[in-house]
Amino acid sequence: MKRPNVGAILESLTLEEKVSLLAGKDFWETVPIPSKGVPSIKTSDGPNGARGEVFNGGTRAACFPAAVCSASTWNPDLSRRIGNALAEETLTKGARVLLGPTMCNHRHPLGGRNFESFSEDPLLTGKLAAQLVAGLQEKGVGATVKHFAANEQETERLSVNEIVSERALREIYLKPFEIAIKEANPWAVMTAYNLVNGTHADSHPFLLQKVLRGEWGWKGLVMSDWGGTNSTADALNAGLDLEMPGPTRNRIAKVVIEAVEKGLVSEETINDRARNVLELIQKVGGFENPEIPPEQSVDEPAHRQLIREVAGQGLVLLKNDNGILPLKKDQVKGKKIALLGLAKEALIHGGGSASLHSHYRISPWEGLHNAFGDDVEFKFAKGAHTYRLLPPLDSNCTGLDGRSGWTIEFFEQGKKENPVKTRNGHKEAAFSPLLDNGSKWKEILLSATFTPEETGSHYLSCAGIGPTVISINDKVIYEQKHNSEDAMAFLFGGNPEIQFTYSFTKGESYRIRVHSSPPVTGGNDHGGILSGLPGFRLGFMYQKEHDEDLVSAAVDLARECDIAIVFTGHSPVWETEGQDQADFHLPKDGSQDKLVDAVASANPKTVVVNSTGVAVAMPWLSKVSAVLQAWFPGQEAGNAIADILSGAVNPSGRLPISWPKRIEDAPAYGNFPGVKKDGQLTVRYEEGVFVGYRHYDRIPKEKLQFPFGFGLSYTTFSLKDGRVSQTSKETFKSSVTVSNTGHEAGAAVVQLYVGNATKSKDHPIKTLAAFQKVFLEAGQEKTVELSLELKDFAFFDEGSGSWKVEKGKYEFSFAQSTADVECVVKIDIEGSRQLKL
């Protein structure tokens, strides 16, 4: 079929038709113009799996490891394969554009969405993201790199003002995007919610015009984050092509046309924006094949295998005293092993855009049984309360119709006499506005009669998007008068809830009513995609279950077993889009730390497997024998963990983040999540370029738990004979010999850092400039060659507005982590006063 002429189509459109293309048709699709041959194309979340159009419980999809786990592989080839697989997954959901990868920096360990991003280091992030983009697009699916830019926190993310120097912005926060743009040319870029130096990212001339389209020469489509369009004329003029989702709020045809008539926006700008939409449709094959097929669940065996392989290379062994791991089958046969904590929970992804309805989810309990069969006797105890939200009240409830469930009545705002709609049989005491078309109503009333099974003072909890009132037997027992701090976080189950108690008597009937209103107007948080819509949760738990002592049973079990493995971590409600981490310690209220400490005291052979997307406090580290950082490894989680624990896979993951002992030693401590004044949250990036290891290199090493790039193996490696030569004014070649000095086949990660031999308070001691993963048999040696350029370790000089490398002697450090440098080569470099990047 002949490719359509985008220019000719554009010329055929009226101004109103062009404007219609500049916002979504609905939540996921673009606007079609059938009379002019313009189809709609569909987008889909997200970065670790193509979820499809339903947030919760939709079409099943493959869940790949979170980006931080993928980054721990330090293997760009795997990223390309992930991109290929994600493209295939995206097409099964009828979509042609995937909303990923997420490329924001790990600025602070409490960042709520860190797991969804790769690393604290811009080079590692950029190289891996570029390969994922290439893998997607070579299969015809558009990648959307996000969130552009400086989106490093979730607290008040819709309105927070990030104050960051141009140097830090260029070297740390824009650099990953620059690498991906220049090496893989993503077809779309998504803007961030936040303000950068006082201007919203979706209408930021510096970011979108000067840098992205200007200096980098990128030609593609810029879309907003969902609900992240904050203006009409400013966003159009700055370069925001597509407002998402639809229907539009800021690009109503009449309003935009009036802006054109008044000279606030030129028709040429409208043409440019519309052309970019049409060109994206063309790139993904929308004109040739305009059909959007129904979503399918395709459980591809090759994807299963890839997920397990990536997870196997991404899990990081942090401690292994006395070689307690691996647990070889012949060594543990007939033994009893206690599996404690979250052993029966598959922590496969974080919360928010990265969550999906996976084909399946393998828990560690299942994975270890798969690996060892009946050769080992596994015993389980939970050991700790880890819930964040009480489960929605759903049992022993009768609706107004006399049947099981709840009755929901929908009302227009302020009109509580006649419901617009009534629905019986609602499953539980929770309501998400995205499950219904909220345009017809503004208030909801949930009603049921509850008959408790136990007598006592039981626990309830509540959270609402807007003002919410709970009454029992017509008496108000709880009232939330304020709006949610982040309305969108409500979707992802991470909204903090207020807990309280109420005395019930077994067998008696209690009429429960929940009235929820939309958010009150005013303030900076406009609610994003949930603006003006109500939603709530009512949680319930019997007192006996809530207050049960779980630690004692776990300790007793650990004491009677040969080995104890404690599974710790964050479920999606603890680590999620929409809010930052509640604490540096594992939840809940120290329960997991107490469990590990108590078990380690009872059994000297205690192993901890931690599933988080961030560094966490480990006050018990000295008491346990081994620690495996499992991240969120996707749907094969339990099998991948069992592969490492059993020795079927030799761990080769290396940390893509630095791991502090205390949150107080993190570089952004004191400047996260910011200071509020006159209703505006502002966060200052006072640490500048000294993010992650760039900061930890300058403070006492005792403050660091594990360095960037660190990871153990069941074998050992050494680096020797490092060599560096300058092949041109701006290019270098280097080589180093890598030896497997142990008795097992495995993989090392060669890391090359560069820094000026003359230390300066203005520059990092060293910067990652190149890396390569190397697989070696026991006793094998390989010579690894790494190429790099001046731009890979240049700094941005704000005075001249250019990239520079100063003249001087530079140290090229070959290392296995930032704290394990084995070869240093010094070279005199003429430098460059201005680099063209």
For residue 104, is it within any domain?
yes
CATH of the domain at 438: 2.60.120.260
pLDDT at 46: 87
Assess whether 729 and 687 both reside in one domain: no
Assess whether 676 and 740 both reside in one domain: no
Mean pLDDT of 205-216: 98
Q: What angle do CA 165, 171, 175 make, to 5 degrees?
A: 125
Residue 734: CA count within 13 A, CB half-sphere: 30
Residue 237 CA, distance from chain mean position: 30
pLDDT at 485: 74
CATH of the domain at 821: 2.60.40.10
Residues annotated as catalytic (active site), given as ranges: 225
SS3 623: helix
**Residues 289-321: pLDDT tens digits?**
999 999 999 999 999 999 999 999 999 999 999
pLDDT at 497: 85
Share of the chain above pLDDT 90, in %: 89
Assess whether 202 and 68 both reside in one domain: yes
In contact, 311 and 633? CB cutoff 8 Å: yes
Does the structure show a pLDDT above 50 at 524? no
Assess whether 697 and 736 both reside in one domain: no
**Residues 19-71: pLDDT tens digits?**
999 999 999 999 999 999 999 999 999 899 999 998 888 999 999 999 999 99
Does the structure show a pLDDT above 60 at 390? yes
Enclosing domain of residue 200: 14-318+346-365+626-712
Residue 558 and residue 782: Cα distance in Å, rounded? 44
Mean pLDDT of 234-243: 98
Assess whether 266 and 404 both reside in one domain: no
Assess whether 695 and 723 both reside in one domain: no
Does the structure show a pLDDT above 70 at 833? no
412, two tokens: 């227009």
CATH of the domain at 107: 3.20.20.300
Assess whether 681 and 778 both reside in one domain: no
For residue 539, is it within any domain?
yes
**Residues 178-203: pLDDT tens digits?**
999 999 999 999 999 999 999 999 99
Does the structure show a pLDDT above 90 at 613? yes
Average pLDDT over the chain, rounded to an integer = 95
pLDDT at 439: 52
Count CB neighbours of 459 within 10 A.
18
Burial (CB < 10 A; 0-12, 13-18, 19+), residue 263, is: exposed
Mean pLDDT of 546-553: 94
Residue 263 CA, distance from chain mean position: 41
Residue 600 and residue 324: Cα distance in Å, rounded? 14
Does the structure show a pLDDT above 80 at 626? yes
Domain boundary among the residues 529, 546, 563 is at 546
pLDDT at 525: 46
In the DSSP assignment, the letter for residue 451 is -
Res. 591 pLDDT band, cuts 50 70 90: very high
For residue 486, is it within any domain?
yes
Residue 226 identity: W
For residue 192, is it within any domain?
yes
Assess whether 115 and 31 both reside in one domain: yes
Count of domains in the chain? 3
Residue 500 and residue 572: Cα distance in Å, rounded? 23
Paired with 773 in beta bridges are 749
Residue 48 and residue 729: Cα distance in Å, rounded? 40
Q: Largest Cα–Cα distance of the chain, in whole Å?
A: 85
Assess whether 825 and 741 both reside in one domain: yes
Question: Considering the entire predicted model, what is its pTM?
Answer: 0.95
Asked if the peptide bond before residue 419 counts as cis, ω within 30 degrees of 0, the response is no
In the DSSP assignment, the letter for residue 454 is S
For residue 560, is it within any domain?
no
φ, ψ at 722 (rounded to 5°): -70, 135
486, two tokens: 């982040």
Mean pLDDT of 220-246: 97
Mean pLDDT of 681-706: 97
Rg, Å, the chain Cα set: 27
Assess whether 744 and 689 both reside in one domain: no
Residue 11 and residue 754: Cα distance in Å, rounded? 52
Closest C-alpha to 659, from 691, 616, 698:
616
Residue 73 and residue 77: Cα distance in Å, rounded? 10
For residue 123, is it within any domain?
yes
For residue 616, is it within any domain?
no
Does the structure show a pLDDT above 60 at 336? yes
Percent of the chain that is helix, strand, coil (3-state, to 5): 25, 30, 45
Mean pLDDT of 499-516: 96
**736 vs 530, more confident:** 736
**Residues 166-175: pLDDT tens digits?**
999 999 999 9
**Residues 110-147: pLDDT tens digits?**
999 999 999 999 999 999 999 999 999 999 999 999 99
Residue 217 and residue 210: Cα distance in Å, rounded? 9
Domain boundary among the residues 671, 697, 712 is at 712
**Sequence-ordered list of residues with C-beta below 8 angstroms from that of 67, at least 6 positions apart, any chain:** 47, 48, 101, 102, 115, 116, 117, 118, 128
Residue 9 identity: I
468-472 and 421-426 beta bridge pairing = unpaired
Assess whether 758 and 652 both reside in one domain: no
Assess whether 106 and 203 both reside in one domain: yes
For residue 600, is it within any domain?
no
Domain boundary among the residues 546, 575, 609 is at 546
pLDDT at 528: 66
